[in-house]
C-alpha cells in the first residue's frame, strides 16, 4: 500500500532525564552528556548522508546546557519541538508547576528563534491538565499517546472514568496526536540502568526485527500510515545501534516510504 511516512524523532534529553531521577550521580550525568557529545553529531551525520529531515524534542535544560549542539540541529534544518524544561514527569506535578515548566521551556525555545509546533511529554505520561495546556499554548500536535498506532487523530480532553463509572468521553482537542509507542522507543529496549532498574541491553537485531515488522505491517495494511519512531541520542548514538538505525532507514526507503518531520506531517493534515 502506498503513501507510508516514517517520522524519525529524537528526544535530546542529555542531563535532564538523569536529573529527573531521584538518584543523581556524576557518572549518570555523564551518560546523558554522551548524547550531546557523540549521539547528536552521529545522528546528524546519518540524517545528512540520507537527506532526511527529523524532529528533535529538546528540553529547555538541554538547550541551555548544550547550545552548540542544539544550534547544529537547527543549522541542519531539523525541527525542534517542546519537551518540557526540566524533564519532570507531569503526572507527578501540581498544575502550577507543570504550567510554569511548560512556559519556561517555551520561552527558551523562543529565544532560540523556534516557535515550537509539537510537544512530547518527558515521561510518556500526562497529568489531568497536560492536554489542556498543550491546546492552550497553541501546539499543532502532541506525540505522547498510544491510543492509535499508524493514524494521526484528535485526542480527547476531559474524559471522565473511574473504577466505578464507565467512560464518559470528553471533547476533541484542536491539535493532532501523532502517536508513539514503547515498542518503537529505543530507551525501552536498549538503556540499562541501576536505579530505577531498566533491563536494557537488547541486541540491535532484536529491535530491528520489531521496527521493520511494524513498518512492513503498516505499509501493507494502512493507506497513508505514519510510523513515529522515538529515539534518544544518548541511546541510539552507540555504534551498534546507529548502524541498526541506518539499516532500518534503508529498509523503509527501499519500500518507497517518505521521511518527514512530525511538524510537516501535522501541518499537512
Judged by the rule CB under 5 A, the positions of this chain that interact with Zn ion are 11, 13, 122
For the beta carbon of residue 253, count every other beta carbon within 10 angstroms: 15
Cα dist from 109 to 59, 64, 70, 176, 231, whole Å = 9, 10, 10, 21, 21
Least Å distance between CB 239 and Zn ion? 22
**Are the C-beta atoms of 260 and 40 separated by less than 8 Å?**
no
Least Å distance between CB 216 and Zn ion? 28
**Are the C-beta atoms of 65 and 19 separated by less than 8 Å?**
no
Q: Phi then psi for 13, rounded to 5 degrees?
A: -80, -30
Which CB sits closer to Zn ion, 4 or 191?
191
Least Å distance between CB 85 and Zn ion? 12
Which CB sits closer to Zn ion, 58 or 173?
58
Beta strands in 166-205 (DSSP E): 171-172, 176-177
Which CB sits closer to Zn ion, 86 or 95?
86
Which CB sits closer to Zn ion, 151 or 238?
238
| In the complex, residue closest to Zn ion by CB | 11
Which CB sits closer to Zn ion, 11 or 98?
11
Q: How far apart are CA 84 and CA 104, in angstroms?
A: 8
CA 13 from chain centre, in angstroms, equals 10
For the beta carbon of residue 238, count every other beta carbon within 10 angstroms: 17
Least Å distance between CB 221 and Zn ion? 30
Q: How far apart are CA 196 and CA 17, in angstroms?
A: 12
118-119 and 141-142: which strand pairing? parallel
Least Å distance between CB 95 and Zn ion? 21
Least Å distance between CB 187 and Zn ion? 8
Which CB sits closer to Zn ion, 4 or 62?
62
Amino acid at each position: 500500500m502506498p503513501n507510508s511516512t516514517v517520522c524519525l524523532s529524537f528526544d535530546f534529553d542529555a542531563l535532564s532525564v538523569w536529573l529527573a531521577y531521584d538518584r543523581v550521580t556524576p557518572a549518570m550525568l555523564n551518560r546523558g552528556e554522551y548524547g550531546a557529545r557523540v549521539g547528536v553529531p552521529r545522528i546528524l551525520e546519518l540524517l545528512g548522508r540520507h537527506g532526511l529531515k527529523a524532529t528533535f524534542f529538546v528540553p529547555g535544560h538541554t538547550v541551555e546546557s548544550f547550545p552548540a549542539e542544539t544550534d547544529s540541529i537547527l543549522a541542519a534544518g531539523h525541527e525542534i519541538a517542546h519537551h518540557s524544561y526540566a524533564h519532570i514527569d507531569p503526572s507527578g506535578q501540581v498544575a502550577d508547576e507543570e504550567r510554569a515548566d511548560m512556559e519556561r521551556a517555551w520561552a527558551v525555545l523562543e529565544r532560540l528563534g523556534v516557535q515550537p509546533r509539537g510537544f512530547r511529554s518527558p515521561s510518556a505520561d500526562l497529568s489531568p491538565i497536560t492536554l489542556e495546556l498543550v491546546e492552550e499554548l497553541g501546539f499543532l500536535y502532541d506525540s505522547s499517546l498510544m491510543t492509535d498506532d499508524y493514524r494521526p487523530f484528535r485526542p480527547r480532553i476531559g474524559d471522565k472514568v473511574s473504577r466505578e463509572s464507565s467512560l464518559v468521553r470528553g471533547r476533541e482537542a484542536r491539535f493532532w496526536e501523532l502517536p508513539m509507542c514503547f515498542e518503537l522507543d529505543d530507551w525501552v529496549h536498549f538503556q540499562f540502568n541501576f536505579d530505577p532498574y531498566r533491563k536494557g541491553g537488547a541486541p540491535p537485531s532484536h529491535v530491528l526485527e520489531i521496527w521493520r515488522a511494524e513498518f512492513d505491517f503498516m505499509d501493507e495494511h494502512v493507506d497513508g500510515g505514519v510510523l513515529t519512531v522515538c529515539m534518544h541520542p544518548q541511546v541510539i548514538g552507540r555504534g551498534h545501534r546507529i548502524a541498526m538505525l541506518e539499516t532500518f532507514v534503508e529498509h523503509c526507503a527501499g519500500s518507497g516510504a517518505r521521511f518527514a518531520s512530525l511538524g510537516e506531517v501535522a501541518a499537512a493534515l
